[in-house]
Amino acid sequence: MTATDLKNLLERVQTWPEEAQDELVAIANQIENELQGQDYQATQEELRIIDAAIASIDAGEAATEGEIAAAFAKFRRA
């Protein structure tokens, strides 16, 4: 990617919905932090999702072998 490509992309980003712009900024900040050797800091939403997943596991909820196979098959097709 050239500097011109990046500049053109950033100009197009200004036309995106605010939520998409926020997501791009968050991703870019994560990349920058990794490049600077900083530890990853999960967002409140990510922590909420992790807590919900742990609660599901603790409650005995788990995917079946068939559900897992179907998920892998779906992502392999994408």
Reported pTM: 0.51
Our count of domains for the chain comes to 2
User: What are 26-41's pLDDT values in tens digits?
Assistant: 899 889 988 998 888 8
Q: Please determine, for residue 78, whether its predicted confidence score (pLDDT) is greater than 70.
A: no
Residues with Cβ within 8 Å of 15's Cβ and at least 6 positions away in sequence, in order, are none
Report the C-alpha gap between 77 and 57 in whole angstroms: 28
Q: What are phi and psi of 42, to 5 degrees?
A: -65, 145
Rg (Cα) of the chain, in Å, rounded? 18
Domain residue limits at 18 = 3-35
Residues 53 and 31 in one domain: no
Residues 7 and 31 in one domain: yes
